[in-house]
Structure 1
Amino acid sequence: MAIKSIIGRTDEQQILSEALKTPEAELITIFGRRRVGKTYLIRKYYEKNMIFEFSGVHDAKLKDQLTNFRNILGGLLNQHIAHEVPESWTTAFEMLKKYAAPLLKKGKKVIFFDEFPWLSSARSGFLSAFEYFWNSWASRQDNLIVVICGSAASWMIQKIVNNRGGLHNRITRKIRLLPFNLAETEAYLKSRQINLDQYQITMLYMAMGGIPQYLKDIRPGQSAAQNIDRMCFAKDGILKEEFKNLYHSLFAKADKHMAIVKALAERSSGMTRKEVIAACRLTTGGTTTLLLEELAESGFISAYLPFEKTTRESVYKLSDEFSRFHLKFLENARATGDGTWLRLSAAPTWRSWSGTAFESVCMKHTRQIKKALGISGVYTEESIWRHAPKRGKGAQIDLLLDRADFCISLCEMKFSTTTFTIDKGYAEELKNKVAVFMQDTKTKKTPFFVMVTTYGTKDNQYKTGLIQNEVKLNDLFL
């Protein structure tokens, strides 16, 4: 059952709905980056079923966390004289059991722990107490759903989903909440009476991604450029200091994570694990693997498998729009204040950024691209390809759809403020690219060039016979 006040999140709502219908206890974990809407989703969907909600506080002392727990539980019980603060999490969970038990007789109920990793500080005993609470009591309550949520996605994966202790294989459902796609972003803005066309929405998306908490600050009556200017460059802009706050809130040792992100921002074509290690002066052991996994699970970077290569040869790319925007225009920026973005967006640096940012947006909308190409029902494997000879000019394809119908779609993504024109030089570049690709890969499949652009590609002598398919900006909103 979909809730009208929730934009998008169709698959996630289905998971939450199914949990309400089962005849046994459910333990649901939901994770995703900061400000992506995890808490809102759970609160809204389970609004009528929620009997207890408790959120951890970052870097709070154990006694303060337990005091907050006592205060919330006391408020629910309408206690005029508060109980003493529980001496441990074991005692706190005993109090919770006594409160919840009679309510579970009235139907399916939800207990929600938000910012779960912040509760489990060193020597707090929280995780072991929670494990005992679930295994000894909660798992036996057929009318109980326990939801645990956290922004520190890497912690949630390691300590909860892949737990080897008392919670091993106990999670019944998991949700990795990602930012809105373009269609969901459009729907969200319309729900807030903000009417921008798809080009303007794409400009916003390229700068800040589909993060609901960022989009919440978009004002009606202002263009994308005006909103970006106010939110990022004005003295009190909400995104002016967001970059460091974002990473330090998610990762205990954020400097190394930020170093990887900065290195990838410099290489739009992506970097292999070996190249990341060299650029960031990391070790070749498990530490690097863990850093990359944490960034990937949190949605900041993505690993792409090169055509006909193994996972060991994966190429990592920066996939977080806001991080790319910040590092390009806000990091060590000389210009700040009102009107800064309006000036920058007319400079040459804007052109190089917009091209890379649009490619990243397209890579997140491959399902929509496949739909526009009419191959949604065809099994495809998405990959990238790059040829870097020791001598001479290299070639690369940023999105390649390897299809089960013995064809390969080679996608060229170009951002333009008007209809894109293929000139003689670019046509020669494309012809050379497909020739090198066919020779390098030895594939027997038929290659089709696909142009993914904002307003389409102008018909001329260079397009004819070279470009087989087109995908326009509006197709990405489907």
Structure 2
Amino acid sequence: MPELIVGRDAEKKILKEVLDSKEAELLAVLGRRRVGKTFLIRNYYSKQLVFECTGMHEVSLMEQLSNFSNALQQAMKLQVPLAIPDSWLQAFTFLSDFLQAKPEKQPMVILFDEFPWLHTPKSGFLAAFGHWWNNWASRRPQLKVVICGSAASWMTENVLHNRGGLHNRVSRNIRLLPFSLKETEAYLVSRGISLDHYQILQLYMAMGGIPQYLKQVGRGESATQVIDKLFFEKGGMLKTEFDVLYRSLFNNASHHESIVRQLAKRAKGMSRAEVIKACGLTTGGTTTRLFEELEQSGFISQSIPFEKTSRDAIYKLLDEYSLFYLKFIDRARATGTGTWHKLAQGQSYNSWSGYAFEAICQKHIQQIKEVLGIGGVYTEASGWRYTSKTGETGTEIDLLLDRQDRCINLCEMKFSGQEFVINKKYASELDNKVNVFKEQTGTKKTIFLTMITTYGTKQNIYYTGRITSEVKMEDLFR
């Protein structure tokens, strides 16, 4: 019995179109480790899936071929082991023979999971797969071939942008992203777990919307207990996930980790030149590829500041899990039950929670726009920073919504366990931000100062006449 698929509405629409198609389909599914690619395909296509082969990480060609033979034996429901093919060309011949014996009228789904791992050096896998698809599989309308890969950059370069036998052969592709806050809540509810929005937000800040991480949440556990269990207790799943995560996605992952570590130190982000200098890298194609791979896999984001060009792009760490791990787990001495409860009382928690909340808001801009009543207005989201050359204090705006209707929402994001209060000092900072922004950009657009908080902003003398709109935590769950 297949499990319920929570959310993923756009993806399910594509999967249905593939199934209903009158032609052979080659579907590529990209997404980071543990985001639910295999779960989605297995459950949606539970009745049509006739063969599945999962690549093995860092093993020899013979081990991959033996693994393929075992998968074929399982699909054929045989008690006796099959002969191990001599090459991938022969392996695909075996697969064709098996599929040819199946009824031709029913759709048949073939799944190659962890597709990049099947392509070991000098194995000829990709060429053999391309040959099989072009000369046999593509001519059978009932065949729907799905290839999944966690290494998004490898999949993009070698499959989507392939210049050889697979050039323009992928008919559809899905980039599976982590759950939104709304999907996270629905997923937990589907597992019989009832938590309020603040508890879910805290979980999301620590581990993001990764289904396999969220699956570890137990009934009756608070966010603090879950974080303690997964990150700080002996054998905690997320205590050792960091190294495995990057090594499974990238070759020579040390450079990728180095970039992520540097960005974790700078909440406001860094320019490309700053990252390169901090990591001791050199400018050029290899370094460009590192940035692209991290961005395509959803770990970092690149944003172009207001009225700037791509040369001025700022990179930020987008992955909640990596940020939490590097802030509290990496090289930390504190471990054991109750550790997170203690850490959550300190200054490090305050700086981390502010950064993590901002990152989540950046991922839920569409929800923010809907609440502000500008869902249908063309909008460019960006940040802005000003550094004075005369030694005056600079200013920084984390989120600007530059609207086509000649208005700009200048957004301030504040994480708090209670209603946020604007005091005299902060009110002065807000006024300064608006004034410096207007002065330095020369904008003629109307500025709407917008607060994005957990429980709202207290309406006192510093709020009235200054704040024009606000978004609350509950709005991000829309």
TM-score clears 0.5: yes
Helix, strand or coil: the match of 1:131? helix
Counterpart in the other structure of 1:472: 472
1:419 to 2:440 alignment = no
Q: What is the letter of the counterpart of residue 196 of structure 1?
A: L
The alpha carbon displacement at 1:211 in A equals: 0.6
Map 1:45-444 → 2, pairs under 5 A: 45-103=44-102, 105-390=104-389, 391-444=391-444
1:10 to 2:9 alignment = yes
Checking the alignment, whether the CA contact within 8 Å between 1:104 and 1:144 is kept in structure 2 is no
Checking the alignment, whether the CA contact within 8 Å between 2:66 and 2:84 is kept in structure 1 is yes
Q: Calculate the TM-score normalised by the size of structure 1.
A: 0.98
The alpha carbon displacement at 1:101 in A equals: 2.4
Q: Distance in 2 between matches of 1:79 and 1:237?
A: 39
- Cα deviation per residue 1:124-154 (whole Å; 9 max; x = unaligned)? 1100000101111111111111110011111
Checking the alignment, whether the CA contact within 8 Å between 2:107 and 2:142 is kept in structure 1 is yes
The alpha carbon displacement at 1:239 in A equals: 0.8
Specify whether residues 26 and 439 from structure 1 end up closer, same or farther in structure 2 by C-alpha distance, changes over 3 A only: same
Q: Distance in 2 between matches of 1:159 and 1:241?
A: 30
Q: Distance in 2 between matches of 1:104 and 1:58?
A: 34
The alpha carbon displacement at 1:100 in A equals: 1.2
Range with greater deviation from structure 2 (385-394 or 124-133): 385-394
Checking the alignment, whether the CA contact within 8 Å between 1:104 and 1:143 is kept in structure 2 is no
Q: What is the letter of the counterpart of residue 452 of structure 2?
A: V
The alpha carbon displacement at 1:20 in A equals: 1.2
Helix, strand or coil: the match of 1:245? helix
Q: Distance in 2 between matches of 1:310 and 1:140?
A: 47
The alpha carbon displacement at 1:4 in A equals: 7.6
Q: Distance in 2 between matches of 1:372 and 1:4?
A: 33
Helix, strand or coil: the match of 2:290? helix
Q: What is the letter of the counterpart of residue 416 of structure 1?
A: S
Helix, strand or coil: the match of 1:105? coil
Q: Distance in 1 between matches of 2:248 and 2:22?
A: 37
Percent sequence identity over aligned pairs? 58
Q: Distance in 2 between matches of 1:83 and 1:386?
A: 64
Checking the alignment, whether the CA contact within 8 Å between 1:131 and 1:167 is kept in structure 2 is yes
Checking the alignment, whether the CA contact within 8 Å between 2:299 and 2:318 is kept in structure 1 is yes
The alpha carbon displacement at 1:444 in A equals: 1.4
Q: Calculate the TM-score normalised by the size of structure 2.
A: 0.98
Q: Distance in 1 between matches of 2:441 and 2:101?
A: 66
> What residue ranges of structure 2 are gaps of 5+ in the alignment?
none
Helix, strand or coil: the match of 1:16? helix
The alpha carbon displacement at 1:419 in A equals: 0.3
Q: Distance in 2 between matches of 1:311 and 1:140?
A: 44
Q: Distance in 2 between matches of 1:190 and 1:223?
A: 14
Q: Distance in 2 between matches of 1:97 and 1:7?
A: 34
Checking the alignment, whether the CA contact within 8 Å between 1:247 and 1:254 is kept in structure 2 is yes
Q: Distance in 1 between matches of 2:42 and 2:324?
A: 31
Equivalences, count: 476
Q: Distance in 2 between matches of 1:374 and 1:299?
A: 28
Q: What is the letter of the counterpart of residue 228 of structure 1?
A: I
Q: Distance in 2 between matches of 1:126 and 1:437?
A: 55
Q: What is the letter of the counterpart of residue 47 of structure 1?
A: S
Q: Distance in 1 between matches of 2:82 and 2:228?
A: 50
Q: What is the letter of the counterpart of residue 42 of structure 1?
A: I
- Cα deviation per residue 1:136-178 (whole Å; 9 max; x = unaligned)? 1111111111110011111111111111111111111111111
Runs of 4+ with deviation above 6 angstroms: none
Q: What is the letter of the counterpart of residue 161 of structure 1?
A: L
Q: Distance in 1 between matches of 2:413 and 2:198?
A: 15
- Cα deviation per residue 1:55-91 (whole Å; 9 max; x = unaligned)? 0010121111111211221232233433321100000
Q: Distance in 2 between matches of 1:428 and 1:338?
A: 42
Checking the alignment, whether the CA contact within 8 Å between 1:198 and 1:473 is kept in structure 2 is yes
Q: Distance in 2 between matches of 1:76 and 1:318?
A: 42
- Cα deviation per residue 1:232-269 (whole Å; 9 max; x = unaligned)? 00011111111111111111111110110010011111
Q: Distance in 2 between matches of 1:83 and 1:295?
A: 40
Q: Distance in 2 between matches of 1:79 and 1:408?
A: 65
Counterpart in the other structure of 1:460: 460
Helix, strand or coil: the match of 1:54? strand
Q: Distance in 1 between matches of 2:34 and 2:397?
A: 33
Q: What is the letter of the counterpart of residue 424 of structure 2?
A: K
Q: Distance in 2 between matches of 1:221 and 1:402?
A: 43
Q: Distance in 2 between matches of 1:104 and 1:294?
A: 41
Helix, strand or coil: the match of 1:471? strand
The alpha carbon displacement at 1:319 in A equals: 0.4
Helix, strand or coil: the match of 1:229? helix
Q: Distance in 2 between matches of 1:165 and 1:449?
A: 53
The alpha carbon displacement at 1:31 in A equals: 0.9
Q: Distance in 2 between matches of 1:139 and 1:326?
A: 45
Specify whether residues 128 and 329 from structure 1 end up closer, same or farther in structure 2 by C-alpha distance, changes over 3 A only: same
The alpha carbon displacement at 1:389 in A equals: 1.9
The alpha carbon displacement at 1:104 in A equals: 5.3
Checking the alignment, whether the CA contact within 8 Å between 2:3 and 2:43 is kept in structure 1 is no
- Cα deviation per residue 1:13-52 (whole Å; 9 max; x = unaligned)? 1111111122111111011111110100111111111111
Checking the alignment, whether the CA contact within 8 Å between 1:55 and 1:113 is kept in structure 2 is yes
The alpha carbon displacement at 1:312 in A equals: 2.2
Q: Distance in 1 between matches of 2:103 and 2:54?
A: 21
Q: Distance in 1 between matches of 2:13 and 2:87?
A: 36
Q: Distance in 1 between matches of 2:100 and 2:412?
A: 59
Helix, strand or coil: the match of 1:463? coil
> What residue ranges of structure 1 are gaps of 5+ in the alignment?
none
Q: Distance in 1 between matches of 2:11 and 2:39?
A: 12
Q: Distance in 2 between matches of 1:310 and 1:135?
A: 42
Q: What is the letter of the counterpart of residue 394 of structure 1?
A: G
Q: Distance in 1 between matches of 2:137 and 2:68?
A: 18
- Cα deviation per residue 1:255-306 (whole Å; 9 max; x = unaligned)? 1101100100111111111111111111110111100110011111011111
Q: Distance in 2 between matches of 1:441 and 1:198?
A: 38
Specify whether residues 373 and 104 from structure 1 end up closer, same or farther in structure 2 by C-alpha distance, changes over 3 A only: farther
Q: What is the letter of the counterpart of residue 66 of structure 2?
A: T
Q: What is the letter of the counterpart of residue 431 of structure 2?
A: K
